[in-house]
Amino acid sequence: MRIFERLADLERKGETVAIATVIRAQGSVPRHEGSKMLIYPGGGIEGTIGGGELESRVIEEALQVLKDGKPRILHYAFRDPEEGDVGVCGGEMEVFVEALRPSSTLVVVGGGHVGKAVAHLASWLGFRVVVSDDRPEYASSQAVPDADEYIHCELGQLPEKMKIHEETYLVLTTRGVDVDVDGLPKLLDTPAAYIGVIGSRRRWETTAKELIERGVPKEKIARVISPIGLEINAETPEEIAVSILAQIVMLHRGGTGKPMAHQPRGGGRTQEK
């Protein structure tokens, strides 16, 4: 499979990979501008930018890029290995290394009124939206028209049906405690960025108690956010969706959720037009 086809395939699957591209080559070097290599999180590669010591060093740098997400330009000389160079060909090379990370995915579990509103707003905000429900009529474009993917399965089967990664936000607009208790243990074993469960405080306390009785560690249960969303006194499904997405965007962007308006000295608020 060609490099660009592989990248498209990895993006569809929500996989992470680093891309090393030769951006400058001067003199005698093993590969020239445009040569690419993919580096996977486990250290495996696809393609080549020249092999040998050069490739070993680029792989090491690429693994760091996968950890910190910061692209970098690497300069290598092919003159004197005793001086730290990567070869003796006589040329120079620059390699640009960047990470392809999965797009932020919002999974709505439960295709009812609130789930439909959450999916619509999340799609408008640019998330890749997945709708899942154990009822086939709710995991469909007829019930929720704004999703990119529909998965019909039990809640606990979701990690088997899709890749849940560090940029996955799970919004459980489910219909009851029984569904949550049965399915949450599997979700808590995933690296999801956010696991939120809709419902009252009492509903969540009941759910958490039953999870503890089933042997789920408290530190795992503490990952769950419930009640879900920011407090804006929301009532309608659309207002609830705003509350939920505001909380997710806040966490995703590192916000505080505090009002941005300030109180001027003389009392009263002013707002620029």
Helix/strand/coil for 129: strand
Whether this prediction's pTM lies above 0.85 is answered by no
Q: What number is the average pLDDT over the span 240-247? A: 97
Whether the predicted pLDDT of 238 surpasses 90: yes
Q: What pLDDT, on the 0 to 100 scale, is given for residue 273? A: 42
Distance in angstroms (rounded) separating the CA atoms of residues 62 and 56 = 10
Average pLDDT score over the chain: 91
* Domains of the chain with CATH codes: 9-100 (no CATH), 105-253 (3.40.50.720)
* CB proximity list for 5: less than 8 A, separation 6 or greater: none
Whether the predicted pLDDT of 268 surpasses 60: no
Q: pLDDT tens digits for 193-229?
A: 999 999 999 999 999 999 999 999 999 999 999 999 9
